[in-house]
Amino acid sequence: MITFNDVSVSFEDAGEARTVDAVRHVSLHVPRGSVYGIVGGSGAGKSTLLRTINGLQPVSSGDVVVDGQSVPSLGRGELRELRKEIGMIFQHFNLAESRTVGDNIAFMLEAAGWESSAIDKRIDELLAYVNMSEKRGAYPGRLSGGQKQRVAIARALANNTKILLCDEPTSALDAETTASVLELLKKVNRDFGVTIVLITHEMEVIKAIADEVLVMNHGEAVESGHVYDVLTSPKSEFTQKLLAHTQNYHIPDDVWQSITGEIVRISYHGGSAVEPVITDTATKYGIGMNILHGRIEYIASRPVGVLYVNMIGNGDAVEAAKAELSARTAKIEVIKHDR
């Protein structure tokens, strides 16, 4: 659906005589109907890369191919036609404050040449889809952030768009609203087969929604692939650092001090749940295994987890248990040795 071929974007910094390389030699393929996440720190070049898809940002070199069309070589008129098939949503919603919710959506339909009789019906349909029917006549200034983003999604989909570009769509929302907006985006992807490209700086958002992910740092594509693979076995140090935020847990100092026996950190990803492995091992070697901390979550419906476990028992049994765990889980690290 979207292919980046060695795309670079640089900006002339007006003040000084230097250029900022915002995007450096990125090549990437976004399959039709997928949800593609782009994650990276501030200034990594995510927004710049995203905006090359609908030509809001011209490329300095390379090519962006959308649905068979090379975006950089399109004329003004052709680019406008392409944009009618690409919706966009933003961190700050970007609804026109001078127009009602209905009129914000109507603009898109008028611009795309819809008949005025069809426009009215389409607006009702869209607002019903995003659960905002009763707000058609309201001004955006009266809506909450989550409501605004729902309207913005309806606006972006108005012209039966094939691609939806999302620039940090949940960064201004609280956790609960974030979850509901991500749920809506997933539904849009499922119901209409819309290809979604979504930027975020939060791994949690990637986990919740993306099929594939691109990790960006300083304008470069650090690594990309299926979310499960990238998140469970990150190849680059940068990705590992990004993930560390969500996978390292702190054990309070007094708990740490008072504990006797070893503490191990078990990383687990696999087909079935992790608890049976723990209980099996504990029974088999006759040792105690207390779970101190950790979490198991599901990425692409497969469990991924980190558990901090206190192993209590005689030395040899503990060593044998560790060997067994090492064989049956992804990784086991001793983070506190027995005194």
Partner 1 sequence: MTGNISGFSALIEKAMVQTCYMTAASLVCSVVLGGALGLMMYLTAEPLFYRNRALNQLMSAVVNIIRSLPFLILMIFVLPLSKFIVGTKIGPDAVIVPLTIWATAFFARLAEASFAAVSHGVIEAYVASGASTLRVVVKILLPEARIALLKNITVTLISVIGSSAMAGLVGGGGLGDLAYRYGYQQYRTDIMLACVVILIIMVQLIQLLGDGIVARIKKKQ
Ligand X SMILES: Nc1ncnc2c1ncn2[C@@H]1O[C@H](COP(=O)(O)OP(=O)(O)OP(=O)(O)O)[C@@H](O)[C@H]1O
Q: Return residues touching ligand X (CB under 6 A).
A: 11, 20, 22, 40, 42-48, 201
**Number of residues near partner 1 (by CB under 8 A):** 28
Tell me how far apart the alpha carbons of residues 104 and 116 are, in angstroms, rounded to a whole number: 14
Nearest distance from C-beta of residue 264 to ligand X, angstroms: 36
Least Å distance, CB 210 to ligand X, is: 16
320 binds, among Mg ion, ligand X, partner 1, none (CB under 5 to 8 A by kind): none
Comparing CB distances to partner 1, the nearer of 98 and 314 is 98
Residues 237-296 binding partner 1 (CB under 8 A) are none
Taking residues 178 to 207 in sequence order and writing x for each that binds partner 1 by CB under 8 A, - otherwise, the string is: ------------------------------
Q: What character string, x for contact with partner 1 (CB under 8 A) and - otherwise, covers 144-183?
A: --------x--x---x------------------------
97 binds partner 1 (CB under 8 A): yes
- DSSP secondary structure string for all residues of 260-326: -SEEEEEEEESSS-SHHHHHHHHHHHT-EEEEEEEEEEEETTEEEEEEEEEEES-HHHHHHHHHHHH
Out of 86, 157, 311, 325, name the contact with partner 1 by CB under 8 A.
86
| Tokens coding 80 | 């406008």
Q: Does 170 bind Mg ion (CB under 5 A)?
A: no
Residue 84 touching partner 1 (CB under 8 A):
yes
Q: Which residues contact 133 (CB under 8 A, 6 or more apart)?
A: 124, 127
Question: Token pair for residue 190?
Answer: 């499922």
Residue 56 and residue 172: Cα distance in Å, rounded? 23
Q: Looking up tokens 């740092």, which residue turns up? A: 217
Q: Taking the CB of residue 267, how many other CB atoms lie within 10 A of it?
A: 18
Which of 111, 118, 334, 335 is the binder for partner 1 (CB under 8 A)?
111
Residue 22: what residue type? A
Q: Which residue, 164 or 309, has its beta carbon nearer to partner 1?
A: 164
CA distance 148 to 169: 11
The backbone torsions φ and ψ at residue 142, rounded to the nearest 5 degrees and listed phi first, read -95, 5
Q: Which partner in partner 1, ligand X, Mg ion, none is near 11 (CB below 5 to 8 A by kind)?
A: ligand X
Q: Is 94 in the site for partner 1 (CB under 8 A)?
A: yes
Instruction: Assess 308 for contact with partner 1 (CB under 8 A).
Output: no
Tell the smallest beta-carbon distance from residue 161 to Mg ion (Å): 21
Span 46-75, contacts to Mg ion by CB under 5 A = 47
Q: Which is nearer to ligand X, 143 or 215 (CB)?
A: 215
Provide the token pair at 294. 């950790």
Q: Read out DSSP for 81-136? A: HHHTTEEEEETT----TTS-HHHHHHHHHHHTT--HHHHHHHHHHHHHHTT-GGGT
The token pair that represents 168 in the structure block: 């940090």
Q: Is 269 in contact with 305 (CB distance < 8 Å)? A: yes
What residues line the site for partner 1 (CB under 8 A)?
A: 54, 56, 79-84, 86, 88, 90, 92, 94-99, 107-108, 110-112, 139, 141, 152, 155, 159
What residues line the site for Mg ion (CB under 5 A)?
A: 47
